[in-house]
Amino acid sequence: MRDHWYTASAPGKFVILGEHSVVYGRPAIVLAADLRMTVAVRRSRWNTMNGERLDFRRQPHLRYLTRDLRHAVDVETHSDIPVGSGMGSSAALSAAMAMALAAMDGRHLTEEEVMLEAYGAEFYAQGNGSPMDASACVHGGGITVNMPEPRGRHLWDVSRGERHWSFSDLEVPEMTFVIGNTGIRAPTGPLVDRVHRYMERSRFACEVIDDIAELTVQGGRALMRGDKEELGRLMTRDHKLLSILGVSCDELNRLVNASLPYSYGAKLTGSGGGGCMVALTDRPEKVCQAIASRGGTPYVVRTGGAGARMELRPPTTAELRR
């Protein structure tokens, strides 16, 4: 039993300010990247992913998203988002997959319902973290999390245990960023756990989280004003605080330092430990050259990326194989 393909896509994301502190209900600012994950699904006799038998033990996100299906599925994926880089590849996969599976079953999910499915898959796979990535990859554009003075439209609230997150839309001025990928894969869960253990044994770590939260609020005001100099300064300061928490690494620091002469500011983005950094700049070519000269892979991204959506496109070569 096979059906026609149902295809959806979702953007990656990058954190401007607030990673790690957002896990504890503090503010964060996140933008969608114009790099996308595309997922196509169809009914099948057995479960496959990109032409190979699907092992759910190695794909916990998909195990969660297909938990209510009564039939097998073929899954085809294509991604522009570097994997394990802090750019939300797993959240984008979960969001696009949730939307495509719902369409295959004749259901239409609201934006909030897609987000909840994607966050559920993220939490099932990692056991920790916040709904920030899922929200950014579903909504697109820009979002703020737990901002004390949000300026945009309220999107949704999510609670888990004692933690609570409130999301609002953010209208972001046109800006150019360069992402630098170290090429080092760093799963989010272990780094979140590392910061949690540090906070449990050190009041100083808790104060660092407080400092990150405070500068994130300041950064939100600077972003709304289009003040790139102030926003860049806060991004660089945030990187130093994240380094104190122990989530940066030599490779990230090299890319950040190489970018700073040509940028308003730069920092790691995501959970750290590898993955990516981001620089705010009006000289993207120079930043790309600096990142490449230190062994990184640069990506120029601009604000305003679209959120999760259904796609209409011809079959890929992989799809035509069958």
Q: Which is more confident, 156 or 315?
A: 156
Q: Over the Cα atoms of the chain, what is R_g?
A: 19
> Do 302 and 176 form a contact (C-beta atoms < 8 A)?
yes
Of 230, 225, 299, 228, the residue nearest 269 (C-alpha): 299
Does any domain span residue 29? yes
> Do 273 and 249 form a contact (C-beta atoms < 8 A)?
yes
**174: its two tokens:** 């046109």
Same domain, 213 and 115: no
Q: How far is Cα 72 from Cα 48, in angstroms, rounded to an integer? A: 8
Does any domain span residue 1? no
Structural domain that includes position 95: 6-172+305-320
The dihedral through the CA atoms of 25, 13, 18, 146 has a sign that is negative
* pLDDT per residue as tens digits for the range 272-308: 888 899 999 999 999 999 999 999 999 999 887 899 9
**275: its two tokens:** 């993955």
Number of domains within the chain:
2
Helix (H, G, I), strand (E, B) or coil at 197: helix
Same domain, 163 and 244: no
pLDDT of residue 25: 84
3-state helix, strand, coil in the chain (%, to 5): 40, 25, 30
CA–chain centroid gap for 103, Å, is: 23
- Indicate the DSSP class of residue 290: H
* pLDDT per residue as tens digits for the range 225-255: 899 999 999 999 999 999 999 999 999 999 9
How confident is residue 315, by pLDDT bands cut at 50, 70 and 90? Answer: low
- Would the pLDDT of 320 be above 50? no
If you average pLDDT over residues 54-77, what whole number do you get?
A: 90
Angle at 44 between CA 56 and CA 3, to 5 degrees: 135
Same domain, 55 and 137: yes
Same domain, 159 and 238: no
Q: How far is Cα 88 from Cα 49, in angstroms, rounded to an integer? A: 20
Average pLDDT, the chain: 90
Same domain, 164 and 187: no
Q: Are strands 72-79 and 48-49 parallel, antiparallel or unpaired?
A: parallel
The CATH code of the domain that includes 29 is 3.30.230.10
- Indicate the DSSP class of residue 87: S
* pLDDT per residue as tens digits for the range 8-38: 999 999 999 999 988 888 999 999 998 999 9
Does any domain span residue 111? yes
Same domain, 229 and 273: yes
**83: its two tokens:** 């994997």
Same domain, 165 and 39: yes
**54: its two tokens:** 């699907």
